[in-house]
Structure 1
Amino acid sequence: MIVVLAVTLVGAVGGGVGTAQAEGSGSGASYDRQLLFYNHSYGVLDRETADAIERSDYLKDFASFEVRTTTGSGGQTWTGRYLRGRETYLELFGVGDLPGPDGTLGAAGLGVSTERDGDLATVAERMKSEGATPIEFLQTRDFGDGVPVPWFDALLTATEYDAFQAWAMEYRPEYFADPRSNTEPASFPGDVGRERYLSDDYRNHLMRDITSVHLAVTEGDLADTVPLLRAGGFAVRTVTGGGVVAEGGGTTIRLDAVPRAQAGLQRVTMSLNRPVKDRHVERIGNSTLTVGPGSHAVWTFPANGTP
């Protein structure tokens, strides 16, 4: 899902404002409970790669795969290519699939979500402690009858960005209650979790979940993202050369600081439902998906569309 379309945000021409401080007061690991978990990430790829992903017979067998057009808040629409696992998923676009700067090569995003109803309010308070001002909005979904259904509440740290934006999200009870959402029953009181949101179709394929994601972002976009990750309870540490690694909840998030021209989705690692004996390499456009040996797969993407 795309959050930027919901609030009609436009990438800053002169660079990310970096209003939140990357060196916030907290470390993330200091909080008593992790509240946010990797939900999904998206990337805008070169057209050749995006089209190859859409046509790939291998991906349809490898993962719970779908090409879907969604109508969100304000009638905004987007068409993405989705690979879904048990709790996490990946959303991929080609250049021009999204309007304005959001549809340019190397644009990307990251959604981190709560598992329990009401935790987003606590995240908002933590964000303030990390030096960020939470910006609230509601995303809706139109299933085709012209009636928007509340989908999820979200928090941003900034409304201007170079090419990357992260947001916190909490699914709404109204969405789970709508039979068209094809979601699962609650596993416990207040369950708004990722496993409930996604279907069990992943069991019929090889891909199980996303275990790590690596994105290159500008310094300004990084500065706006770190307070959100810390507020969510991720353990965030800086890495040599600029950037951070955020760990917690089963998925590792790496964000490298780069010039805008080098920004974009770099690498995704996935767990498998069963181990495979042999190594399989699938070239998909300008990207390479390597599956096995063992119970993992690695998908690497060209640096900003260049092989």
Structure 2
Amino acid sequence: MLIRRTLRIITVLTTTCTIALAGSVGPAQAEESHVSSQKQLLFYNHAYSVVDRETADAVENSAYLRDFANFEVRTTTGGGLTWKGRYLKGRETYIELFGENDLPGQDALYGSAGLGVSTERAGDLAKVTTRLAALGITDPARYRQTRDFGDGVPIPWFDTIRTTAAQYEAFDPWAMEYFPEYFADPRSQTEPASYTGDVSRERYLPDAYADHLMRDITHLRIGVTAIDLANTTPLLKAGGFDVTTTGGGIIATGGGTTVQLDSVAREGAGLKQVSLSLNRSVATRHVERIGRSTLTVGPGARAEWTFDAPA
């Protein structure tokens, strides 16, 4: 998705607690599950990345992806901007891909990317802000996003915070919280609440994932610059992720999705790998070449999607 950062226009683009059984859960079960994860306030919602034009076009026209996942090519208007994204949506998480020059400014360049982590209960974004203050981030950048469904009547969509108002180099990380008003609007076509204050990713995303193989994103690997990494790490820590520093970046775990960020030079930035869980186990291995990327599905209930740099 595309949103406007305070004082300038930027582009930005639902993980899931592991679930043993597919299908819906009752309000009491959902409430119990949510209470058990109170320490973690932010969860992987989605990521976006700008890939090379060959790969973006191949993704957009892939018959295999339309069968594999709840796949959509959609034009969205929000915050005074309009953008076209290629979406693969699971039960709680999704990913959005752009091609080079699909977006304005620096985000038109290959390797630009972003990460959205979101709350599951209304009011938790304020708690994240308090945690950020304890980490030394006392004045995070705030922005409120609206959405227009094409009828010229925008509604509140979500609030965001970032650790800094400074322009990112290639990777934009933000925390977000959906508005209850968005869920209440019938145009959003979202699900009823499962517990008090439910603004969850599962409620936001449709259940069409159940008709396909892809269930959710379990691991994401992106190359980011050192400056962007430094601006991302406090946000993940404040959200309750378990953040481990590696020799060349960080690995943040929690809520069913691992986010791996490698510290690289700008020319090495961008999406490298996505791991996905499946709704069912498959007996054989299938390899699908999509532009300059390779999606390997099975055997078992997992898939790996890797992205090559342009030649």
Instruction: State the TM-score, normalizing by the size of structure 1.
Output: 0.90
C-alpha contact (below 8 Å) 2:4/2:145 kept by paired residues: no
- The one of 145, 153, 172 aligned to 1:147: 153
Contact 1:36–1:232 (CA<8 Å) still a contact in 2?
A: yes
Query: Is structure 2 residue 8 aligned with structure 1 residue 8?
Result: yes
- CA RMSD in angstroms comes to 1.5
Letter in 2 for 1:212: H
Matched, 1:285 2:302: no
Aligned partner of residue 143 in structure 1, secondary structure: coil
Corresponding position of 2:98: 93
CA contact (8 A) 1:6 1:76 kept: no
Q: Which ranges of structure 2 fall in alignment gaps of 5 or more residues?
A: 12-36
3-state SS of the aligned residue for 1:191? coil
Write the distance in 2 (CA, Å) between the matches of 1:32 and 1:183: 24
1:110 to 115, 120, 131: 115
Match of 2:60 in 1: 54
Residues in 2 aligned to 1:48 and 1:5: alpha-carbon distance in whole angstroms: 29
Structure 2 equivalent of residue 210 of structure 1 = 217
Matched, 1:254 2:255: no
Question: Structure 1 residues 7, 149: CA separation in 2 closer, same or farther (over 3 Å shift)?
Answer: farther
% identical aligned pairs: 64
When residues 151 and 7 of structure 1 are mapped into structure 2, their CA distance, relative to the original with a 3 A threshold, is farther
1-structure distance, mates of 2:124, 2:38: 13
1:189 equivalent in structure 2:
196
Out of 197, 202, 226, the residue aligned to residue 219 of structure 1 is: 226
Q: Secondary structure at the match of 1:147?
A: coil
Q: For the residues of structure 2 that align with 1:298 and 1:131, how far apart are their CA atoms?
A: 37
CA distances 1:221-252 after superposition (whole Å, capped 9, x unpaired):
00000000000000001112x20000000000
Contact kept? 1:183, 1:198, Cα under 8 Å: yes
- What's the CA shift for 1:8? 3.2
Residue 158 of structure 1 corresponds to which residue in structure 2?
164
Residues 195-239 of structure 1, C-alpha deviations (whole Å, 9 max, x = no match)? 000000000000000000000000000000000000000000111
CA distance in 1, matches of 2:5, 2:227: 20
Moved beyond 3 Å, runs of 4+: 3-11
Residue in structure 1 matched with residue 15 of structure 2 by the alignment: none
Distance, in Å, in 2 between the alignment partners of 1:4 and 1:215 is: 22
Higher RCO (CA < 8 A, seq sep 6+): 1
Alignment partner, residue 186 of structure 2: 179
Normalising by structure 2, we get a TM-score of: 0.89
Residues paired across the two proteins, number = 284
Point out the more displaced range, 154-163 or 251-260. Answer: 154-163
Which residue is equivalent to 2:270? Answer: 264
- What is the aligned counterpart of 1:168 among 175, 187, 191? 175
Judging changes above 3 Å, is the alpha-carbon distance between structure 1 residues 116 and 256 closer, same or farther for their aligned structure 2 residues?
A: same
